[in-house]
Structure 1
Amino acid sequence: MESHPNDIKFFLLDIEFPDSKIKGIDLATKIRQQDLNSKIVFITTHEELTTLIFDRKVEPLDYIAKEIGLDGIKKKLYQDLDITIERLIPSSDQNVEKFNFKISSKKYAFDINQINYFESSENNHNVFLHSTNEIIEFPDTLKAIEDRLPNFYRAHKSLLVNPNNIKSVDSKEHKLVFKDGTTCDVARRKLAALKKCLNK
C-alpha cells in the first residue's frame, strides 16, 4: 500500500488464516484505517465471525462463502472486480490528477488543479500546500514533490508553483498572481524562464 499509493486496490481475504499470527479481520481493519477507497472481499467458511466485519466497520464489497464451490466463487469474484473498476476508474477517466500525501497514518488525495504552490517550511522537514481554499502542512520535501510533479515550476528555492493556476507575473514586484487572487514571490533569476514556460 505504501509503495503503490495511486494504484486501485482490491484485497481478497479470509477472516482467519490457518497457522498465521494475524487474522484476516485484523488485516482488513488496518487496510480500512489507511485507505477508505480500497475494495475488500472476504472468502471464508467462518460465518460465525461475520458480525466482526460490521463491528470493525470494515465495509467489505462482498462476502463469499466457500460452500458455493469454485465456479460460484469465480463468478462472484469477476462481478466484484467489475464493480471495483466501475467505482474506482471514473476519476482517471475524467483526467483529474491527484497529489497523494500522508499526515501520520492518514492518507489524502488532493486535486492537482486546486493547488497553487508548495512552500517549504523553515525546518525543511515539512511542506505547506497552498490550494485555492486552504493551506495544509505535511511531512515532505520540495525536491521529492518536484520529482513527482514535473509540470510544476521551481520559482524560488522554497517555492514550487503550478503554472496552470498562474494568472499573471508582476515582474516589477517579483510576484506571481494566481487565478484566485493570491500571490507569492518569485526569484528574479527565475522570471525569464518562468515567462517562457507560461507562454508555452
Structure 2
Amino acid sequence: MSLWNVYIIEDDYFQKKRLSQAIMELYGDKCNICDDIDFNRFEEFIQGQVFTKQDIFFFDIDFSDLITGIDLAEKLRKKSLDCSIAFYTAYPDKSLEIIYRNILPVGIISKEHRNISNDLKSIMDKISYYNYQQESDYLSFCLNGRTLRIKTNDINYIETNKETRNWVTFKLKNSEKMINITMKQLRDEIDKNFFYKDLRSYIINFKEIQEIHKKSGYIHFIDDQKLYVGNKIIQKVIKAFDLWLTTNS
C-alpha cells in the first residue's frame, strides 16, 4: 500500500498535536504527516502542486474573521478532485455550508469528543474504500493547475496528435479530447493493465474492444468506433489481447 500524505491545517497547537497523535497511533506506518502549514499561506502552499487520492487534508474551521477552513477547503477542492478533505472542528453544525459549497468532504471530527479515534478511523476507512472502488474508474491529469478526470470506460483509444507536437488525442465514446502530454509521459502515468501501451502511436483500451479484424487490420470497439492500424500492428494487438484475456479471465 502507498503511504498517505496527511496535511493538518490547524492553528491551535494542542488540537494539532492531538490529531497528529491519534493518526500516528492508528496509522503511524502508513502516513506522512505535515502539520506545520501556515493557514495564511495555504494558497501559496498548494500552488503548482498535484494532489492525488493518497493526499488527505484535515481542516479546522475557525481561523479568523477574514478566512475560515471552509474557504481554504473550497480553494483546494477547485484545484483537485482527487484528494480527500475532512474537517476537525468544534463547529460540526457548519456541515450545511460545507455541502452547499461543493467541498465534498469525507467526514467531520468533532473536537468536543473525548476520544476522536473512532471518528478518525471511520474517515480513513471511508477513504480506503472509496479509493478501492475508484481505482480503475478514472485517469487523472493536472493541466494548468487544474485536475482533469476521464472515465476509463469512456476511452476507446489514445493516439499521438499528428498535427501538434507533444499532444495526444483521446478517442472517447461520444467525443474526442486533446491533452498537452507526450505519449511517453502518458504511458508512465497509466497503470491500468487493460490499456495496451506497447505501440508507438497508440494506447488501446482492451476492455472496450468488440472485435479485431485480422485480415483488414481494423479494431472494432463496443460503441461501433473503428481504428485502422494495418496488418503488421494488428498481429501484435491480437497476441497481446489474447494474453490479456487469458490472464484476466
User: Normalising to structure 2: TM-score of the pair?
Assistant: 0.58
- The aligned residue for residue 126 of structure 1 is 167
Shift of residue 125, structure 1, vs aligned partner: 2.9
Q: CA deviation at 1:152?
A: 0.9
Aligned to 1:90: 133
1:135 to 151, 164, 176: 176
Classify the secondary structure of the residue corresponding to 1:84: helix
Among 13, 21, 24, the alignment partner of 2:59 is 13
How many residues are aligned here?
189
* Distance of 2:234 and 2:147 partners within structure 1: 37
Is residue 168 from structure 1 mapped to residue 212 from structure 2 by the alignment? yes
Q: 1:117 matched to which residue of 2?
A: 157
Quick one: which amino acid aligns to residue 215 of structure 2? S
> What is the SS of the residue equivalent to 2:105?
coil
Structure 2 CA distance, aligned partners of 1:168 and 1:48?
A: 57
Cα gap change, 1:142 to 1:30, in 2 (>3 Å): same
1:42 aligns with 2:87: yes
- 1-structure distance, mates of 2:158, 2:218: 15
Root-mean-square deviation (CA), in Å? 3.6
| Cα distance in structure 2, aligned partners of 1:49 and 1:185 | 55
Q: Deviations over 1:55-95 (max 9, x none)?
A: 744343444443444x2x23322233334344443344xxx
Give runs of ≥4 in structure 1 deviating > 6 Å: 46-52
User: CA distance change for structure 1 residues 154 and 188 in 2, over 3 Å: closer, same or farther?
Assistant: farther
- Residue 31 of structure 1: aligned partner: 76
In the alignment, the residues of structure 2 paired with residue 134 and residue 98 of structure 1 have an alpha-carbon distance, to the nearest angstrom, of 17
| Cα distance change on mapping 1:146 and 1:169 into 2, 3 Å | farther
Choose the corresponding residue for 2:119, options 59, 62, 76.
76
Instruction: Between 122-131 and 75-84, report the one with greater CA deviation.
Output: 75-84
Q: Are 2:148 and 1:107 aligned?
A: yes
Which ranges in structure 2 are unaligned for 5 or more consecutive residues?
1-45, 244-249
Given that 1:41 and 1:61 are in contact with CA atoms closer than 8 Å, whether structure 2 keeps it comes out as: yes
The alignment partner of 2:174 has SS state of: coil
- State the identity as a percent: 23
Contact 1:153 1:194 in 2 (8 A): no
Distance 1:61 1:120, change over 3 A: same
Taking a change above 3 Å as real, the CA distance of residues 4 and 43 of structure 1, as seen in their structure-2 partners, is closer
**Is this contact kept in 1: 2:211–2:220, CA < 8 A?**
yes
Greater shift after overlay, 40-49 or 59-68?
A: 40-49
